[in-house]
Structure 1
Amino acid sequence: MLFSLRRLEAINIAYGEAAGDGALEEVASRIQHFASEELDGPWQLARAGGGSFLLVANEACSRERWQLVADQLADLISRPIAVPTGVLRLSPRVALIRALTDESVDSMLDRLGHALQEASEQQGQRLAWADGEVTPPGHSSAQLEADLLGAIDRDEIEVLFQPQFNLEDDSLTGAEALARWNHPELGRIGAGALFSIAERADHIGPLSRHIAAKALAAASEWPGDLRLSINVTPADLAFGSYVRQMLDLIRESGFPLRRLTLEVTEQALISDIAMAADMMAEFSAQGIRIALDDFGAGFCNFRYLKVLPMHYLKLDRSMIEGVTTDKRDVAVLRAIVAMAEALDLKVIAEGIEEEAQRVVAKREGCGFYQGFLRAQPMSAALFQKLAGSEA
């Protein structure tokens, strides 16, 4: 975790640098004593410059446990500090990370830095988790952001397709469009990292439209009534002319409106639910279907199901992982499907990786599924071949 102490510069000005140095020594002492008592595995504390400290621990630790440790440490640091000229109070901001397999130190520090900046910019936010994607080695975030600005023109953004199947007869029903960046030096960069980079570069809008255009162009060649699903980002819904631009893209591609599904996550709806509802209603009036994506991964705000014109609930993989071994997981799945049926919504199960999971999803009433059990994301050419063989 990376700590940043606010108001340190103001303390140096008001009380003198000796008071600021004394405060830093006290903070370091508090963190060291706390870590010695609370952490089981080896740990190391370092000053990261200015009013910043880095605490690294090597032990098995859940996300919840690490956040609890950070909360306790932030409370400890916030307690009054006595210095010769008076009593000081410091207000820490904390960035948290759990290192990914084979992740470099540079990548971890880069992600922590961005998370700390996010926490500092948000009013009232004390903790922030670093993004879950690794920064590819050898390139800083600034370099990647600069690279991305030209990636569309260089046709480095590839659209893959994750096939979707009917649970009743296992027939192919369509695919979800997923983006990958084929970086000329770093190789393939996944969708999560790609959109994180695009967000920092303020380039999500052009990227999202480019992905949609490529997906629609490929899907216009599909046989039968196969459906295309396209993800909608928070930046899309914040853009006033998104509906008009998206409808123009669809019409230019020739892809039938009635065969398109837009997948919207809870995160995309949080900022302005009323505007999102209006946009979704415009799409729905054109025959486009709407799916609430990653259902179960966030807060599951049921108000969305009341005010938005939804047609599908797409279950997050966490809602499926334990259904073959845990009765409570099955009970939750059963309840969600019952609620969806009452609201006339179809349920799509995501992350089906085992035959036993597919069997449970079918038994409990899910309508469709996608996952590595049947197919991994594939190129447009391979999906076209799959679609032809299924036709």
Structure 2
Amino acid sequence: MTNVKNSMASCCISELSFQSLCMLSPAEKLTTGRPSEGPDGSPPSVATTLHITHGVVTDVAGGPTDLFGGRAVPGKPLVDLLDEAEKFGFLPGGTAASINTALAARQSKQLLSLADGRSIMVATEFAAADDMTLHFVDVSFAVQMTLSQQRDVLTGLPNRVELLRRLNEHLASPASLPQTAVLYVDLDRFKMVNDTLGHPIGDALLKLVVERMQRLLAPKDVLARLGGDEFVILQAEGEQPHAAEVLASRIIEIVGRTYLLQGHSVQVGASVGIALAATDGKTPEELIKNADLALFKAKSAGRGTFRFFTDAMDREIQERRALEIDLRRAIIMQELSLVYQPQFEIDGNKLVGFESLVRWSTSERGSVSPAQFIPLAEETGIIDQLGEWVLRTACKEAARWPEPLTVSVNLSPVQFKSPKLVSIIVGALSSAGLPPSRLDLEITEGALIENTETVLLMLNQIKAMGIKVSIDDFGTGYSSLSYLQKFPFDKIKIDQSFIRSLETNADSAAIVRAVTALGKSLGMMTIAEGVETESQLELIARDGCAQVQGYLTGRPLAADAAAELISTRT
């Protein structure tokens, strides 16, 4: 620990301590031996001040602690004083030689660590060739403050500041670059542990994860915590890129093993992004940024994997940022629009409502696919603003339709993280003058995976107002049956992936039959989406599906075209 303190703290505190002493008058230095208070608000710090002429002590000022046990007296050679202090245990072994070497080289600062844990700065003023003043300054408080600023409180790992310092030092040697990699590690499903089991267990889990990762590191490697469940590893030596690939694979494997915490069996995963010092960045900041970009791609690929940084990733992130800026502007400038896809009862081909779908078209980009900008809106938080606009616009348009036609609006799982969601829905209905019974909110199973109880509470509030709630893309998520049991949905939307292969895949046909039967037994309406052929329509009708939506019965329409369709069908 002594070496760690010396290397981490001396460069940060020595100048401060020495300058604070130099601001004192000679009288203050020799009569009080210390400033009244350190610049950081710490307790009195000067332990002993010695004035040396021709190698002999000529003046002594003792602070609150005498480092030399009363042996520092005028007339004693400094060499003898230091030897005695070592001999009687007042100073650690090797101190005399270290100080003498520093003085011979006319070094003004030197940091010592005592056996009792204190840190002592030897600050020297050279008046002439054989005339000097030595201040032995207790800088323990400053050392601890410095360490706390460089270390993560929970894990004791280096934080971002210390990681950047270590990286700077390491990258200063060009010979090290071909052997160096930066790995950005992010835990998968950690938030779920915090949300379900509480932060104390989450903190304990982080410590165990750190222990496992540290066992995989070489002596010169550095593991740092940037915050939350994000870590960065400086892999200092290895045959790259193979060494980084091996380390990333081992991290994913060992972090993914089960943890036992306070009677709970807990499992998380890890995703890793890798940047190579030889090719992927010249500065610590650039390497960390590029490793983070690679991490983003790893998570996008399904998590529990790793990716190396490529130049294409940087181009992609620049394009993504540009798209984000354009999307924010599009919302403000009202460049978005809604189209409405009709929904029909199969029995009687009666128009029952429309699903609202957002569209974005620009002169520069042309038509931007919802599959491109909706995930971006969810990742950046724009979805709250976008979702509110869609809700208000759809309700306003539906209020022009005759009763009992309904409008379906899709809600993103991200929107359920906002405590304002219910009030936003109420506001949209109120401002449009649309009865709650004519609004159908569609959610995916993804909305129920995290914070299930909170989401169910919000859904119950929504349903209590008379608003219909449908589960969208049914059968493509997880635990579908348990969700149907927990919440009485009004409608089940059979995902178009099953409809698309209905005629060629026996499993898809069986799933459609089962979902339709399940809906009937639970008193829920079923609607098939993505119906494009007459044979598909015949099959779902035979299975008892109640409603249909797709290109066969009607493509998405602009508001005016939807109004025209309504006028011909009602």
Please confirm whether the aligned pair reaches a TM-score higher than 0.5, indicating the same fold: yes
Cα shift at 1:202? 2.1
Cα shift at 1:244? 1.2
In the alignment, what sits opposite 2:457? 278
2-side partners of 1:145 and 1:124: how far apart?
23
Pick aligned residue for 1:235 from 387, 398, 414:
414
Q: 278-287 vs 186-195, which deviates more? A: 186-195
2-side partners of 1:127 and 1:167: how far apart?
48
2-side partners of 1:113 and 1:384: how far apart?
48
Q: Does 1:265 align with 2:422?
A: no
Identity %: 29
In the alignment, what sits opposite 1:372? 551
2-side partners of 1:186 and 1:143: how far apart?
11
| Alignment check: 8 A CA contact 1:313 1:348 kept | yes
Q: Does 1:312 align with 2:312?
A: no
| Alignment check: 8 A CA contact 2:248 2:272 kept | no
In the alignment, what sits opposite 1:47? none
In the alignment, what sits opposite 2:327? 148
In the alignment, what sits opposite 1:352? 531
In the alignment, what sits opposite 2:346? 167
Q: 267-276 vs 181-190, which deviates more? A: 181-190
- What are the equivalent positions in structure 2 for 1:251-262 lying under 5 Å apart? 251-262=430-441
Amino acid at match of 1:277: L
2-side partners of 1:368 and 1:127: how far apart?
44
In the alignment, what sits opposite 1:179? 358
Amino acid at match of 2:397: A
1-side partners of 2:346 and 2:300: how far apart?
45
Amino acid at match of 2:367: R
- TM-score w.r.t. the length of structure 1 is 0.70
In the alignment, what sits opposite 1:292? 471
| Alignment check: 8 A CA contact 1:145 1:200 kept | no
1-side partners of 2:438 and 2:294: how far apart?
39
Cα shift readout 1:247-287 (whole Å, capped 9, x = no counterpart): 11111101111111100001122111101111111111111
> Relative to 1, partners in 2 of residues 1:390 and 1:83: Cα closer, same or farther, differing over 3 Å?
closer
- Alignment partner of 2:511: what SS? helix
Cα shift at 1:194? 2.1
2-side partners of 1:233 and 1:246: how far apart?
13
Amino acid at match of 1:362: A
| Alignment check: 8 A CA contact 1:290 1:312 kept | yes
How many residues align? The count is 308
In the alignment, what sits opposite 1:202? 381
In the alignment, what sits opposite 1:72? none
| Alignment check: 8 A CA contact 1:280 1:309 kept | no
- Alignment partner of 1:141: what SS? helix
| Alignment check: 8 A CA contact 2:339 2:358 kept | yes
Cα shift at 1:152? 1.9
- What are the equivalent positions in structure 2 for 1:83-94 lying under 5 Å apart? 89-91=246-248
Runs of 4+ in 1 over 3 A off after TM superposition: 16-20, 80-84, 92-95, 112-116, 118-125
Structure 1 residues not aligned, in runs of 5+: 1-6, 25-49, 53-77, 96-111, 129-135
In the alignment, what sits opposite 1:337? 516
Amino acid at match of 1:327: A
1-side partners of 2:327 and 2:436: how far apart?
30
Q: Does 1:215 align with 2:394?
A: yes
- Alignment partner of 2:480: what SS? coil
More contact order relative to length (CA 8 Å, sep ≥ 6): 1
Amino acid at match of 1:315: I
> Relative to 1, partners in 2 of residues 1:157 and 1:311: Cα closer, same or farther, differing over 3 Å?
same
Amino acid at match of 1:213: R
Pick aligned residue for 1:248 from 420, 427, 452:
427
| Alignment check: 8 A CA contact 1:19 1:83 kept | no
Cα shift readout 1:30-51 (whole Å, capped 9, x = no counterpart): xxxxxxxxxxxxxxxxxxxx78
> Relative to 1, partners in 2 of residues 1:300 and 1:17: Cα closer, same or farther, differing over 3 Å?
farther
2-side partners of 1:342 and 1:334: how far apart?
12
Cα shift readout 1:148-198 (whole Å, capped 9, x = no counterpart): 222122110101111111111111111111001122311221222221232
- Alignment partner of 1:173: what SS? strand
Amino acid at match of 2:400: E
Structure 2 residues not aligned, in runs of 5+: 1-162, 185-215, 219-234, 250-270, 274-290, 308-314
- Alignment partner of 1:125: what SS? coil
2-side partners of 1:51 and 1:306: how far apart?
43
Q: Does 1:188 align with 2:345?
A: no
**RMSD (Å) for aligned C-alpha atoms:** 3.6
- Alignment partner of 1:117: what SS? helix
In the alignment, what sits opposite 1:387? 566
> Relative to 1, partners in 2 of residues 1:226 and 1:114: Cα closer, same or farther, differing over 3 Å?
farther
> Relative to 1, partners in 2 of residues 1:359 and 1:207: Cα closer, same or farther, differing over 3 Å?
same
2-side partners of 1:236 and 1:147: how far apart?
21
